[in-house]
Amino acid sequence: MKRKITFMLNGSPVAVETDPSRRAVDVLREDLGLTGTKEGCGSGECGACSILVDDVVKLSCIMTAAQLEGRKIVTIEGVGQGGELHPVQRSFVELGAIQCGFCTPGMVVAAVGFLKGNPDPTREEIRAGISGNICRCTGYEKIIDAVEDAAAKIRGGRSGG
Amino acid sequence: MADIRIPSSLDEVFRLLRDVPSTRLFAGGTDVMVRSFPDTLWRESLLCLERVEELRGISESATEVRIGAATTLSELIGSSLIAERFPLLRQAARHIGAPAVRNMGTLGGNICTASPAGDTLPPLYILNAEVELRSLKGTRRMPIGAFITGPGQTQREEGEVLCAVVIGKEQGFDLHHFEKVGQRKAMAISVASLAFAAETRRDGTIVKARCAFGSVAPTVFISRPLNDTFAGNTLNRAVLERVAAMVREGVSPISDIRASMGYRKQVAGNLIMRLEGAGKDR
């Protein structure tokens, strides 16, 4: 029973004709070709499939396609703007917060969402903020360094102008 | 293949439920999407409550606070009214999953899932919370302890929707404590949890106390004799040892992949012992 589902995806309106009970992660990856969003556990426990839904971090592997309707969706492909990396992405690259890279898109999206609500976090708050995202390379220290660095970049950017 | 409806009003919900009474309800999907995929979801008709306006938000009257069933756990944690009135509920909600799960999961979902390990349940029992159920036949209210009848079992009837949780504003507790033991901090299901609230005198003597345990019985474990044991005493070691022994005797946990029955009994008592250092944390 296919249905037309329309929503904003990374700043542009999209419409997909699909079964509304499919998972959002599958629609994003298979129908819309946005393979940056990863499926790790498939049960909402690892954070690899994190996306922003109306600016709030949610897990696309435990979300149905139907729930995308009318929402503003941002995936890893859309966190940067105008061809520029998002400050969180820049900090991840500069500080080597990437090992195998599989958790990185979810980690970045979770960090972007977290910093919207808490622009000046302590390291402990960062730990709690990304606590649903698992890095099996266990590169957490550098990931936390990168989120801390990105927070400073974003704050600097704001106050500078 | 399953059909999924996302109505925005309660009228629409009842209309859809009248047409297909066996429709399964969900809100955040953090439970139903994990349990259902991929076997049953393809056969069931689903109704998502996350956008139903009447089920959202937190409001207050002169005597009560009303929490819409589709209020997310993050919204609950972020509410200044909840922080001020029911710090115990806020503390417990902060122990659930991780931010993204709390951004999706709802209070009503935690109740209707009726897991023995549901982390908001022990505080809701302590606060004498009531659930409000609505259907085309009308509205009824009942205490949370009557609503949940067993693991995954509630009094909700076909065609009925859990609309809100209602909690009396004046609880009279000045000491609040919630502790959860799990295999790790984030994303862990409780092995055992304790919610504790007390009214104390200046010298620390307890006037009245209530405790409720999660994950150590088919439903939340509460006991009047246990609560009565605290009255007139401070949270000193001798009293806590007496209560801990009663707890280990009274609970009826299961052994599962997370912990054994014996371990859960031991930990349930240990959680009481840890009250010795519990300060006035609000």
* DSSP labels, B4-15: EE--SSHHHHHH
pLDDT above 90 for B281: no
Q: Final residue of a domain: which of B140, B168, B196?
A: B168
Which band of pLDDT confidence, cut at 50, 70 and 90, is reported for residue B38? Answer: low
Domains along the sequence of chain A with CATH: 3-78 (3.10.20.30), 87-160 (1.10.150.120)
What average pLDDT does range B165-179 have in this prediction? 96
Q: Are residues B144 and B50 both part of a single domain?
A: yes
Q: Which residues of B128-158 are buried (b: 16+ CB within 10 A; e: fewer)?
A: ebbbbbbbeeeeeeeebbebbeeeeebebee
Q: Is A81 on the interface with B (CB under 8 A)?
A: no
CA angle B168, B169, B170 (to 5 degrees): 100
* Portion of chain B with pLDDT greater than 90, in percent: 83
pLDDT above 60 for B145: yes
Residue B4: list chain A partners with CB under 8 A: 20-21, 64, 66
Res A133: pLDDT: 97
Q: Are residues B50 and B156 both part of a single domain?
A: yes
- Our CA-based measurement puts residue A19 at a distance from the nearest CA of chain B, in whole angstroms, of 8
Q: Quick one: DSSP state of residue B93?
A: H
* Portion of chain A with pLDDT greater than 90, in percent: 94
Res B64: pLDDT: 98
Q: Are residues B161 and B211 both part of a single domain?
A: no
pLDDT above 50 for A160: no
Can you give the C-alpha Rg of chain A in angstroms?
16
Q: Are residues B263 and B148 both part of a single domain?
A: no
pLDDT above 70 for B40: no
What average pLDDT does range B242-266 have in this prediction? 92
pLDDT above 50 for B280: no
Q: Are residues B130 and B215 both part of a single domain?
A: no
What average pLDDT does range A107-130 have in this prediction? 97
- Does some domain include residue B206? yes
Q: Check A64 against B33: CB less than 8 A apart.
A: yes
* Portion of chain B with pLDDT greater than 70, in percent: 95
Residue A55: name the closest of B74, B91, B52 by CA. Answer: B74
Res B89: pLDDT: 98
Number of domains in chain B: 2
Which band of pLDDT confidence, cut at 50, 70 and 90, is reported for residue A161? Answer: very low
The per-residue pLDDT for range A122-152, each reduced to its tens digit, is 999 999 999 999 999 999 999 999 999 999 9
* Positions of E strands within chain A: 3-9, 12-18, 50-53, 56-59, 72-74
Q: Are residues B108 and B245 both part of a single domain?
A: no
The per-residue pLDDT for range A70-92, each reduced to its tens digit, is 999 999 999 999 899 999 999 99
Residue B187: list chain A partners with CB under 8 A: 45, 131-132
How many CB pairs (< 8 A) connect A and B?
A: 79
Q: Check B33 against A62: CB less than 8 A apart.
A: yes
Nearest CB partner across the interface for B46, out of A21, A44, A62: A21
Res B278: pLDDT: 72
Domain containing B37 equals: 4-168
- Does some domain include residue B282? no
What average pLDDT does range B186-208 have in this prediction? 91
Q: Are residues B163 and B187 both part of a single domain?
A: no
Tokens for B199, please give them: 């009214």
Helix (H, G, I), strand (E, B) or coil at B247: helix
Q: Are residues B162 and B216 both part of a single domain?
A: no
What average pLDDT does range A48-63 have in this prediction? 98
Residue B100: list chain A partners with CB under 8 A: 44, 47, 50, 57-59, 110, 132
Res B2: pLDDT: 72
Nearest CB partner across the interface for B186, out of A1, A66, A132: A132
Q: Which residue in chain B has the smallest CA separation from A58?
A: B100
Q: Are residues B217 and B109 both part of a single domain?
A: no
